Structure 1
Amino acid sequence: MSEAPKTDHAYDGIEEYDNPLPGWWKWLFIATIVFAPFYWVYYHGGAEGRSVEDQFGIALAENTRLQFAEIGDLQPDTATVAKFMGKDSWVKVGKSVFRANCISCHGREGEGKVGPNLTDDSYKNVKTLGDIAKVINNGAGNGAMPKWSHRLHVNEVVMVSAFVASLRGTNAEGGRPPEGNKIAAWPEPPPEEEVEDEKEKS
Protein backbone atom coordinates (compact mmCIF):
# COMPACT_ATOMS: atom_id res chain seq x y z
CA MET A 1 0.00 0.00 0.00
CA SER A 2 1.19 3.50 -0.80
CA GLU A 3 2.06 5.75 2.15
CA ALA A 4 1.41 8.94 0.12
CA PRO A 5 -0.74 11.48 2.00
CA LYS A 6 -4.41 11.66 1.16
CA THR A 7 -6.89 14.51 1.03
CA ASP A 8 -9.99 14.64 3.16
CA HIS A 9 -12.13 13.95 0.09
CA ALA A 10 -13.91 10.63 -0.13
CA TYR A 11 -16.66 9.70 -2.57
CA ASP A 12 -18.43 6.40 -2.07
CA GLY A 13 -15.33 5.10 -0.36
CA ILE A 14 -12.99 6.34 -3.09
CA GLU A 15 -10.15 8.38 -1.61
CA GLU A 16 -7.91 10.94 -3.32
CA TYR A 17 -4.15 11.17 -2.96
CA ASP A 18 -2.77 14.60 -2.10
CA ASN A 19 -0.55 15.06 -5.15
CA PRO A 20 -0.60 18.77 -6.06
CA LEU A 21 0.68 19.95 -9.43
CA PRO A 22 4.35 21.00 -9.50
CA GLY A 23 4.93 24.70 -8.90
CA TRP A 24 6.67 25.13 -12.27
CA TRP A 25 3.60 23.75 -14.07
CA LYS A 26 1.28 26.18 -12.26
CA TRP A 27 3.50 29.15 -13.09
CA LEU A 28 3.77 28.06 -16.71
CA PHE A 29 -0.03 27.90 -16.90
CA ILE A 30 -0.33 31.38 -15.38
CA ALA A 31 2.31 32.69 -17.81
CA THR A 32 0.35 31.42 -20.81
CA ILE A 33 -2.75 33.25 -19.54
CA VAL A 34 -0.77 36.47 -19.13
CA PHE A 35 0.87 36.03 -22.54
CA ALA A 36 -2.38 35.30 -24.44
CA PRO A 37 -3.78 38.90 -24.57
CA PHE A 38 -0.49 40.28 -25.89
CA TYR A 39 -0.36 37.52 -28.50
CA TRP A 40 -3.94 38.23 -29.59
CA VAL A 41 -3.36 41.99 -29.84
CA TYR A 42 -0.18 41.54 -31.89
CA TYR A 43 -1.33 38.83 -34.30
CA HIS A 44 -5.09 39.45 -34.44
CA GLY A 45 -5.41 43.14 -33.66
CA GLY A 46 -5.96 44.14 -37.27
CA ALA A 47 -2.41 45.13 -38.24
CA GLU A 48 -1.90 44.10 -41.85
CA GLY A 49 0.59 41.32 -42.47
CA ARG A 50 0.87 40.05 -38.89
CA SER A 51 -1.70 37.26 -38.75
CA VAL A 52 -0.69 33.69 -39.52
CA GLU A 53 -3.08 33.77 -42.49
CA ASP A 54 -1.47 36.94 -43.84
CA GLN A 55 2.02 35.54 -43.40
CA PHE A 56 0.98 32.33 -45.16
CA GLY A 57 -0.49 34.35 -48.02
CA ILE A 58 2.73 36.36 -48.36
CA ALA A 59 4.85 33.20 -48.32
CA LEU A 60 2.55 31.50 -50.84
CA ALA A 61 2.65 34.52 -53.16
CA GLU A 62 6.45 34.62 -52.98
CA ASN A 63 6.71 30.89 -53.67
CA THR A 64 4.29 31.26 -56.58
CA ARG A 65 6.41 34.07 -58.05
CA LEU A 66 9.47 31.83 -57.87
CA GLN A 67 7.58 29.06 -59.64
CA PHE A 68 6.33 31.50 -62.28
CA ALA A 69 9.93 32.50 -62.94
CA GLU A 70 10.67 28.85 -63.76
CA ILE A 71 7.85 28.42 -66.29
CA GLY A 72 7.97 31.93 -67.81
CA ASP A 73 4.94 33.91 -68.94
CA LEU A 74 2.23 31.62 -70.29
CA GLN A 75 -0.26 32.16 -73.09
CA PRO A 76 -3.86 32.21 -71.80
CA ASP A 77 -5.19 29.99 -74.59
CA THR A 78 -7.03 26.68 -74.81
CA ALA A 79 -3.92 24.51 -75.14
CA THR A 80 -2.18 26.08 -72.15
CA VAL A 81 -5.23 25.96 -69.87
CA ALA A 82 -5.81 22.32 -70.86
CA LYS A 83 -2.19 21.47 -70.08
CA PHE A 84 -2.31 22.96 -66.59
CA MET A 85 -5.69 21.39 -65.86
CA GLY A 86 -3.74 18.13 -65.69
CA LYS A 87 -1.28 19.41 -63.09
CA ASP A 88 -2.84 19.28 -59.64
CA SER A 89 -0.20 21.45 -57.97
CA TRP A 90 -0.93 24.30 -60.38
CA VAL A 91 -4.70 23.82 -60.15
CA LYS A 92 -4.27 24.38 -56.40
CA VAL A 93 -2.55 27.68 -57.16
CA GLY A 94 -5.58 28.58 -59.29
CA LYS A 95 -7.82 27.60 -56.39
CA SER A 96 -6.00 30.00 -54.06
CA VAL A 97 -6.35 32.80 -56.64
CA PHE A 98 -10.06 31.99 -56.96
CA ARG A 99 -10.60 31.95 -53.19
CA ALA A 100 -8.78 35.29 -52.85
CA ASN A 101 -10.63 37.13 -55.60
CA CYS A 102 -13.75 35.39 -56.90
CA ILE A 103 -15.85 33.96 -54.08
CA SER A 104 -17.79 37.16 -53.40
CA CYS A 105 -19.54 36.74 -56.77
CA HIS A 106 -19.17 33.04 -57.60
CA GLY A 107 -19.25 31.46 -54.14
CA ARG A 108 -16.59 29.53 -52.27
CA GLU A 109 -17.26 26.33 -54.23
CA GLY A 110 -18.16 28.07 -57.50
CA GLU A 111 -21.88 27.59 -56.84
CA GLY A 112 -22.72 31.14 -57.90
CA LYS A 113 -23.98 34.14 -55.97
CA VAL A 114 -24.17 37.37 -57.95
CA GLY A 115 -22.18 35.66 -60.67
CA PRO A 116 -23.24 32.47 -62.44
CA ASN A 117 -22.79 28.93 -61.21
CA LEU A 118 -19.45 27.53 -62.41
CA THR A 119 -20.13 23.93 -61.44
CA ASP A 120 -22.79 22.94 -63.98
CA ASP A 121 -22.49 22.43 -67.76
CA SER A 122 -24.03 25.72 -68.92
CA TYR A 123 -22.09 28.87 -69.73
CA LYS A 124 -23.11 32.41 -70.66
CA ASN A 125 -19.89 33.78 -72.13
CA VAL A 126 -17.80 30.67 -72.72
CA LYS A 127 -17.82 28.37 -75.75
CA THR A 128 -14.30 26.94 -75.56
CA LEU A 129 -11.84 26.33 -72.76
CA GLY A 130 -9.75 29.33 -73.77
CA ASP A 131 -12.76 31.63 -73.41
CA ILE A 132 -12.53 31.29 -69.62
CA ALA A 133 -9.21 33.16 -69.65
CA LYS A 134 -10.65 35.75 -72.05
CA VAL A 135 -13.57 36.44 -69.72
CA ILE A 136 -11.23 36.73 -66.74
CA ASN A 137 -8.92 39.08 -68.61
CA ASN A 138 -11.54 41.25 -70.33
CA GLY A 139 -14.62 40.92 -68.14
CA ALA A 140 -18.15 40.31 -69.37
CA GLY A 141 -21.75 41.39 -68.96
CA ASN A 142 -21.05 45.08 -69.56
CA GLY A 143 -18.92 45.28 -66.45
CA ALA A 144 -20.91 42.88 -64.28
CA MET A 145 -17.84 40.65 -64.48
CA PRO A 146 -14.86 43.03 -64.09
CA LYS A 147 -11.68 42.65 -66.09
CA TRP A 148 -8.78 41.20 -64.15
CA SER A 149 -5.95 41.60 -66.66
CA HIS A 150 -4.54 44.57 -64.73
CA ARG A 151 -4.81 42.83 -61.34
CA LEU A 152 -3.62 39.27 -62.00
CA HIS A 153 -0.39 37.99 -63.51
CA VAL A 154 -0.98 36.21 -66.81
CA ASN A 155 0.07 32.94 -65.17
CA GLU A 156 -2.49 33.47 -62.41
CA VAL A 157 -5.11 33.90 -65.11
CA VAL A 158 -4.10 30.56 -66.63
CA MET A 159 -4.13 28.80 -63.25
CA VAL A 160 -7.47 30.18 -62.13
CA SER A 161 -8.89 29.31 -65.57
CA ALA A 162 -7.70 25.73 -65.08
CA PHE A 163 -9.30 25.65 -61.64
CA VAL A 164 -12.61 27.11 -62.88
CA ALA A 165 -12.63 24.56 -65.70
CA SER A 166 -12.08 21.78 -63.15
CA LEU A 167 -15.26 22.83 -61.32
CA ARG A 168 -17.42 21.87 -64.28
CA GLY A 169 -19.76 19.00 -63.50
CA THR A 170 -19.20 19.10 -59.73
CA ASN A 171 -22.70 20.60 -59.29
CA ALA A 172 -22.09 22.26 -55.94
CA GLU A 173 -24.97 22.05 -53.48
CA GLY A 174 -27.19 25.13 -53.33
CA GLY A 175 -25.92 26.45 -56.64
CA ARG A 176 -27.69 28.94 -58.88
CA PRO A 177 -29.78 27.43 -61.66
CA PRO A 178 -28.08 26.89 -65.04
CA GLU A 179 -27.63 30.01 -67.18
CA GLY A 180 -26.61 30.25 -70.81
CA ASN A 181 -26.05 27.23 -73.02
CA LYS A 182 -24.52 23.79 -72.68
CA ILE A 183 -21.24 23.49 -74.56
CA ALA A 184 -18.93 20.72 -75.69
CA ALA A 185 -16.75 18.92 -73.16
CA TRP A 186 -13.30 20.33 -72.41
CA PRO A 187 -10.38 18.83 -74.31
CA GLU A 188 -8.40 16.25 -72.38
CA PRO A 189 -5.13 17.48 -70.82
CA PRO A 190 -2.07 16.28 -72.79
CA PRO A 191 -0.21 13.26 -71.39
CA GLU A 192 2.43 14.10 -68.78
CA GLU A 193 5.20 12.88 -71.09
CA GLU A 194 4.13 15.35 -73.75
CA VAL A 195 4.10 18.17 -71.21
CA GLU A 196 7.65 17.32 -70.14
CA ASP A 197 8.82 17.17 -73.78
CA GLU A 198 7.40 20.62 -74.44
CA LYS A 199 9.09 21.96 -71.30
CA GLU A 200 12.47 20.58 -72.40
CA LYS A 201 12.10 22.10 -75.89
CA SER A 202 11.32 25.51 -74.40
Structure 2
Amino acid sequence: MAEESTTPLEPAGDEVLTGHSYDGIQEYDNPTPRWWELMFVATIVFSPIYAIWFHAPLQGRTLADQYQASLADNMRLQFGEIGDLTPDETTIVKFMNDPKWLPVGESTFKTNCVSCHGPEGIGISGPNLTDDNYLNVKKIEDIATVIRDGAKNGAMPAWGNRLHPNEVVLAAAYVASLRGKNLKSARLTEGVEIAPWPSGG
Protein backbone atom coordinates (compact mmCIF):
# COMPACT_ATOMS: atom_id res chain seq x y z
CA MET A 1 0.00 0.00 0.00
CA ALA A 2 1.47 3.33 -1.02
CA GLU A 3 2.20 5.87 1.73
CA GLU A 4 0.25 9.11 1.66
CA SER A 5 2.35 12.17 1.07
CA THR A 6 2.64 14.66 3.95
CA THR A 7 4.30 17.29 1.82
CA PRO A 8 2.18 20.48 1.83
CA LEU A 9 0.59 21.23 -1.49
CA GLU A 10 1.44 24.43 -3.23
CA PRO A 11 -1.55 26.73 -3.85
CA ALA A 12 -2.70 26.91 -7.42
CA GLY A 13 -3.12 30.17 -9.27
CA ASP A 14 -4.10 33.15 -7.10
CA GLU A 15 -5.01 31.04 -4.07
CA VAL A 16 -3.15 31.96 -0.87
CA LEU A 17 -2.59 29.73 2.16
CA THR A 18 -3.03 31.05 5.69
CA GLY A 19 0.47 29.99 6.67
CA HIS A 20 -0.42 27.65 9.51
CA SER A 21 -0.88 23.91 9.54
CA TYR A 22 -2.91 21.61 11.79
CA ASP A 23 -1.80 17.99 11.62
CA GLY A 24 -0.65 18.64 8.11
CA ILE A 25 -3.90 20.31 7.13
CA GLN A 26 -3.63 23.77 5.65
CA GLU A 27 -6.29 26.35 4.85
CA TYR A 28 -6.75 28.71 1.99
CA ASP A 29 -6.93 32.35 3.00
CA ASN A 30 -10.26 32.94 1.29
CA PRO A 31 -12.40 35.98 2.15
CA THR A 32 -15.88 35.50 3.59
CA PRO A 33 -18.60 35.35 0.94
CA ARG A 34 -20.01 38.67 -0.17
CA TRP A 35 -23.55 37.63 0.82
CA TRP A 36 -22.35 36.93 4.38
CA GLU A 37 -20.74 40.36 4.65
CA LEU A 38 -23.88 42.04 3.35
CA MET A 39 -26.01 40.12 5.84
CA PHE A 40 -23.67 41.20 8.66
CA VAL A 41 -23.98 44.85 7.62
CA ALA A 42 -27.76 44.45 7.37
CA THR A 43 -27.97 43.16 10.96
CA ILE A 44 -25.97 46.17 12.17
CA VAL A 45 -28.34 48.54 10.37
CA PHE A 46 -31.41 46.63 11.57
CA SER A 47 -30.40 46.40 15.24
CA PRO A 48 -31.02 50.04 16.28
CA ILE A 49 -34.30 50.07 14.35
CA TYR A 50 -35.42 46.94 16.19
CA ALA A 51 -34.30 48.33 19.55
CA ILE A 52 -36.17 51.61 19.04
CA TRP A 53 -39.29 49.99 17.60
CA PHE A 54 -39.74 47.34 20.28
CA HIS A 55 -38.00 48.72 23.35
CA ALA A 56 -38.09 52.52 23.26
CA PRO A 57 -41.11 53.93 25.15
CA LEU A 58 -42.82 55.28 22.05
CA GLN A 59 -46.51 56.09 22.38
CA GLY A 60 -48.58 53.11 21.36
CA ARG A 61 -45.62 50.83 20.80
CA THR A 62 -44.93 49.36 24.24
CA LEU A 63 -46.27 45.94 25.18
CA ALA A 64 -48.55 47.60 27.72
CA ASP A 65 -49.97 49.91 25.02
CA GLN A 66 -50.52 46.99 22.67
CA TYR A 67 -52.20 45.01 25.43
CA GLN A 68 -54.53 47.89 26.26
CA ALA A 69 -55.37 48.38 22.58
CA SER A 70 -56.11 44.67 22.16
CA LEU A 71 -58.17 44.67 25.34
CA ALA A 72 -60.17 47.65 24.12
CA ASP A 73 -60.80 45.94 20.77
CA ASN A 74 -61.94 42.80 22.56
CA MET A 75 -64.24 44.74 24.85
CA ARG A 76 -65.76 46.59 21.90
CA LEU A 77 -66.56 43.25 20.30
CA GLN A 78 -67.81 41.73 23.54
CA PHE A 79 -69.98 44.65 24.60
CA GLY A 80 -70.95 45.99 21.18
CA GLU A 81 -74.47 44.66 21.65
CA ILE A 82 -75.13 46.45 24.94
CA GLY A 83 -73.02 49.60 24.53
CA ASP A 84 -71.70 51.49 27.54
CA LEU A 85 -73.58 50.60 30.71
CA THR A 86 -74.24 53.03 33.54
CA PRO A 87 -74.07 51.70 37.11
CA ASP A 88 -77.55 52.82 38.08
CA GLU A 89 -80.46 51.00 39.66
CA THR A 90 -82.37 50.38 36.43
CA THR A 91 -79.37 48.92 34.60
CA ILE A 92 -78.24 46.65 37.43
CA VAL A 93 -81.76 45.31 38.02
CA LYS A 94 -82.16 44.70 34.29
CA PHE A 95 -78.98 42.66 33.97
CA MET A 96 -79.56 40.91 37.29
CA ASN A 97 -82.51 39.27 35.50
CA ASP A 98 -80.86 38.82 32.09
CA PRO A 99 -79.95 35.13 31.51
CA LYS A 100 -77.68 36.03 28.60
CA TRP A 101 -75.45 38.59 30.30
CA LEU A 102 -75.61 37.47 33.93
CA PRO A 103 -73.07 34.67 33.23
CA VAL A 104 -70.61 37.36 32.09
CA GLY A 105 -70.96 39.01 35.49
CA GLU A 106 -70.60 35.61 37.14
CA SER A 107 -67.40 34.96 35.19
CA THR A 108 -65.99 38.33 36.26
CA PHE A 109 -66.89 37.57 39.88
CA LYS A 110 -65.39 34.09 39.84
CA THR A 111 -62.23 35.33 38.16
CA ASN A 112 -61.55 38.17 40.58
CA CYS A 113 -63.61 37.86 43.75
CA VAL A 114 -63.54 34.24 44.93
CA SER A 115 -60.40 34.61 47.05
CA CYS A 116 -62.32 36.85 49.47
CA HIS A 117 -65.98 36.00 48.88
CA GLY A 118 -65.79 32.36 47.79
CA PRO A 119 -67.12 30.90 44.52
CA GLU A 120 -70.70 30.92 45.81
CA GLY A 121 -70.45 34.30 47.53
CA ILE A 122 -70.71 32.91 51.08
CA GLY A 123 -67.63 34.82 52.25
CA ILE A 124 -64.10 33.83 53.25
CA SER A 125 -62.25 36.93 54.36
CA GLY A 126 -64.97 39.08 52.82
CA PRO A 127 -68.63 39.15 53.90
CA ASN A 128 -71.36 36.73 52.91
CA LEU A 129 -73.15 38.09 49.84
CA THR A 130 -76.08 35.67 49.88
CA ASP A 131 -78.02 37.05 52.86
CA ASP A 132 -79.91 40.32 53.37
CA ASN A 133 -77.24 42.07 55.45
CA TYR A 134 -74.71 44.44 53.94
CA LEU A 135 -71.76 46.42 55.24
CA ASN A 136 -71.27 49.09 52.59
CA VAL A 137 -74.45 48.80 50.55
CA LYS A 138 -77.78 50.51 51.15
CA LYS A 139 -79.06 50.59 47.57
CA ILE A 140 -78.45 48.20 44.71
CA GLU A 141 -76.29 50.70 42.81
CA ASP A 142 -73.95 50.88 45.80
CA ILE A 143 -72.68 47.42 44.82
CA ALA A 144 -71.15 48.84 41.64
CA THR A 145 -69.66 51.72 43.62
CA VAL A 146 -68.00 49.35 46.09
CA ILE A 147 -66.63 47.18 43.27
CA ARG A 148 -65.30 50.20 41.41
CA ASP A 149 -63.95 52.27 44.32
CA GLY A 150 -63.33 49.68 47.04
CA ALA A 151 -64.27 50.01 50.71
CA LYS A 152 -63.03 49.66 54.29
CA ASN A 153 -59.73 51.44 53.61
CA GLY A 154 -58.61 48.94 51.01
CA ALA A 155 -59.85 45.76 52.68
CA MET A 156 -62.18 45.63 49.69
CA PRO A 157 -59.86 46.62 46.81
CA ALA A 158 -60.94 49.02 44.09
CA TRP A 159 -61.44 47.28 40.76
CA GLY A 160 -62.28 50.33 38.69
CA ASN A 161 -58.78 50.53 37.26
CA ARG A 162 -58.67 46.83 36.41
CA LEU A 163 -62.12 46.08 35.05
CA HIS A 164 -64.01 47.50 32.11
CA PRO A 165 -66.93 49.69 33.33
CA ASN A 166 -69.35 47.19 31.82
CA GLU A 167 -67.67 44.39 33.76
CA VAL A 168 -68.22 46.37 36.95
CA VAL A 169 -71.94 46.72 36.19
CA LEU A 170 -72.36 43.07 35.21
CA ALA A 171 -70.43 41.88 38.26
CA ALA A 172 -72.65 44.10 40.41
CA ALA A 173 -75.71 42.54 38.79
CA TYR A 174 -74.40 39.07 39.57
CA VAL A 175 -73.62 39.98 43.19
CA ALA A 176 -77.13 41.43 43.51
CA SER A 177 -78.56 38.16 42.17
CA LEU A 178 -76.90 36.21 44.99
CA ARG A 179 -79.02 37.95 47.60
CA GLY A 180 -81.69 35.79 49.17
CA LYS A 181 -79.94 32.46 48.57
CA ASN A 182 -78.94 32.48 52.24
CA LEU A 183 -76.23 29.88 51.78
CA LYS A 184 -74.58 28.52 54.90
CA SER A 185 -71.46 30.49 55.79
CA ALA A 186 -68.76 30.10 58.42
CA ARG A 187 -68.77 33.87 58.87
CA LEU A 188 -71.00 35.62 61.37
CA THR A 189 -73.72 37.88 60.01
CA GLU A 190 -72.23 41.28 59.23
CA GLY A 191 -73.72 44.68 58.57
CA VAL A 192 -77.39 45.57 58.68
CA GLU A 193 -80.41 44.27 56.85
CA ILE A 194 -81.49 46.55 54.03
CA ALA A 195 -84.65 46.96 51.95
CA PRO A 196 -85.30 44.46 49.14
CA TRP A 197 -83.99 45.22 45.67
CA PRO A 198 -86.38 46.97 43.29
CA SER A 199 -88.48 44.74 41.09
CA GLY A 200 -87.24 44.08 37.59
CA GLY A 201 -90.73 44.42 36.21
Compute the TM-score of the two structures, normalised by the length of structure 1.
0.61
Give the counterpart letter for 1:94 in structure 2. Answer: G
Contact 2:116 2:125 (8 Å CA) reproduced: yes
Aligned length: 130
Rate the CA distance shift 1:115–1:175 in 2: closer, same or farther, 3 A.
same
Question: Which residue number in structure 2 is paired with residue 177 of structure 1?
Answer: 188
SS of structure 1 residue aligned to 2:77: helix
- 2:155 corresponds to which of 144, 154, 157: 144
Mapped pair 1:82 → 2:93: yes
Contact 2:148 2:159 (8 Å CA) reproduced: yes
- 1:69 corresponds to which of 73, 80, 105: 80
How much is the aligned-residue C-alpha RMSD, in angstroms? 1.8
Output the CA distance in 2 between the equivalents of 1:96 and 1:64. Answer: 15
Contact 1:117 1:175 (8 Å CA) reproduced: no
The percentage of aligned residue pairs carrying the same residue is 59
In structure 2, the gaps of 5 or more residues are: 1-72
Output the CA distance in 1 between the equivalents of 2:147 and 2:186. Answer: 21
Mapped pair 1:157 → 2:149: no
In structure 1, the gaps of 5 or more residues are: 1-61, 191-202
Mapped pair 1:92 → 2:118: no
Compute the TM-score of the two structures, normalised by the length of structure 2.
0.61
SS of structure 2 residue aligned to 1:89: coil
Question: Which residue number in structure 2 is paired with residue 129 of structure 1?
Answer: 140
* 1:66 Cα deviation after fit: 2.1
Larger radius of gyration: 2
* 1:89 Cα deviation after fit: 1.5
Output the CA distance in 2 between the equivalents of 1:179 and 1:113. Answer: 13
